[in-house]
Structure 1
Amino acid sequence: MSVNWLTGKIPESICRLPKLQVLLHYNNSLGGEIPGEVPQNLGQSSSMVVLDLSENNLRGPLPAEACKGGQLPYLLVFQNMFSGNLPDSYTKCESVLRFGVSYNLLEGSMPQGLLSLPHTSLIDLAYNNFTAPLPITIEYPRNWSQLYVQGNWISGVIPPSISRASNLIKLDLSNNLLSAPIPSET
């Protein structure tokens, strides 16, 4: 249902479809009385493998239960107006390959472990209001091909483990408050 003029809320009944594997609602005008509130049970389908709600007017917190089914390789919600913190439950999304929440109003720190998900190749946290330093210990950076955290308020140092990201093609840490030397290869 992507690239249409869909409006209104995402019906909770869609989120309860037991065999739903792909939910693509990107590039619409989803809104509603409370503009685009995302049902909290979204992503609880154990068979869901793609959740893409990007480029809408969705507001409120990100659904904490998006990875409850445990198998959600693609979680993409960029260019909305989601606010609040990233749910700690996202650190349990071990099957995530692509995680994109850029261009929202998210704030605070990244949950410890989000940057250490074992299979993730793309992490896009750009253009939010994250303030805490990047985690110093990142366990699985070798799987990353793309890491975007530009346009936040992240302070501190660049974690030395980033130098072990042997598959990294694109890294953007610009427009933050990072300091200290760039880590060398270890």
Structure 2
Amino acid sequence: MSTMTLEFLSLAGNFLTGFEQFFDILPWNKLSIFEYKVSNNKFTGEIPKVFCSLASLSVLELSNNNLSGKLPPCLGNKRSAISVLNLGDNSFSGDIPETFTSGCSLRVVDFSKNKLEGKIPRSLANCTKLEILNLEKNKINDVFPSWLGILPDLRVLILRSNRLHRVIGKPRNNVEFPRVQIVDLSNNSFKGNLPLEYFRNWTAMKNVHGLCGKPLSRKCGNGEDSLPAAKRDEGSAPYPLEFGWKVVVTGYASGLVIGVILGCVMDTRKYEWLVNL
């Protein structure tokens, strides 16, 4: 096999800890690779800067490893073709870089279950193709990012278990978050009243095609009222999610915390649809 024509590399689900003489074996400066998947291994250290030079890279999945250090600022700029960036369940720390530029290709961003701090970078608003943003279980200290409401295709916003705080203000217009279907803000420190205007505006949540079980009148195929995720044929699935039905409204001593969830199952195998759009 010629290393110059390698396009897809998947080593996920092993016990790998690194590569021996990796950079001597593969001429990365000339390599065209579109998908790099090494999730569920035991890789350690920081993300190699070599990923910044892979102009053709579209899918980067490094989740569930032992990676650490700061996030490279290059992964969201206009020179990057990455559309799926999954770095969840590692030990990354520091602030999320404020380097998401106009022309950003990102559609899926998963930085969940790390040690990230600071604020949600306002430059994410430049990623107009973004559909899924998962920042759960970090140490992000910020207010509700209403400015993300301008993103036309954002469907999933998961911010649970962070240090978000203050009052959630009313939306500035009736078109904020026009396509959002999953919002999880639970286990934060929001306070005050939750503006009902958001629920009136989140009309995309009314689309429950394929869902079954309570509170819906449609029973599941097995005749039970359980709430399994709806199984879809991969060819007909509109986006890489399987849905169940769940609504969580929880009060805490620190204030009112709201999570509205349409059971999200992040199946990395279904990220592939994004690459072909």
Decide: shared fold, TM above 0.5: yes
Query: Matches of 1:65 and 1:9 in 2, distance apart?
Result: 22
Change over 3 Å in CA distance of 1:91–1:180 after alignment to 2 = farther
Deviation at 1:139, TM superposition (A): 5.0
Equivalent residue for 1:165, pick from 170, 173, 177: 177
Matched, 1:25 2:38: yes
Query: Matches of 2:49 and 2:65 in 1, distance apart?
Result: 17
Matched, 1:57 2:69: no
Q: What is the match of residue 57 of structure 2? A: 48
Matched, 1:180 2:189: no
Q: What is the match of residue 252 of structure 2? A: none
Q: How do residues 1-186 of structure 1 correspond to structure 2 at under 5 angstroms?
A: 1-8=11-18, 11=22, 16-31=29-44, 36-68=45-77, 69-92=79-102, 94-115=104-125, 117-158=127-168, 160=171, 164-183=176-195, 184=197, 185=200
Amino acid at match of 1:6: L
TM-score (norm 1): 0.85
Which stretch shows the higher mean deviation, 64-73 or 168-177?
64-73
Query: Matches of 1:9 and 1:38 in 2, distance apart?
Result: 13
Structure with more relative contact order (C-alpha pairs < 8 Å, separation 6 or more): 1
Query: Matches of 1:82 and 1:76 in 2, distance apart?
Result: 12
Change over 3 Å in CA distance of 1:141–1:65 after alignment to 2 = closer
Provide, for residues 98-130 of structure 1, a one-character-per-residue CA deviation record: whole Å limited to 9, x for no partner.
Answer: 000000000011111325521111000100000
Find the residue that maps to 2:194 and give its secondary structure: coil
Structure 2 unpaired stretches of 5+: 1-10, 202-277
Deviation at 1:137, TM superposition (A): 2.6
Aligned sequence identity (%): 27
Find the residue that maps to 1:54 and give its secondary structure: coil
Contact 2:76 2:99 in 1 (8 A): yes
Deviation at 1:65, TM superposition (A): 1.5
Change over 3 Å in CA distance of 1:182–1:116 after alignment to 2 = farther
Which stretch shows the higher mean deviation, 140-149 or 124-133?
140-149
Higher helix share: 2
Largest Rg, 1 or 2: 2
Change over 3 Å in CA distance of 1:147–1:12 after alignment to 2 = farther
Query: Matches of 1:9 and 1:56 in 2, distance apart?
Result: 14
TM-score (norm 2): 0.59
Contact 2:36 2:61 in 1 (8 A): yes
Query: Matches of 1:43 and 1:146 in 2, distance apart?
Result: 26
Find the residue that maps to 2:66 and give its secondary structure: coil
Contact 1:116 1:140 in 2 (8 A): no
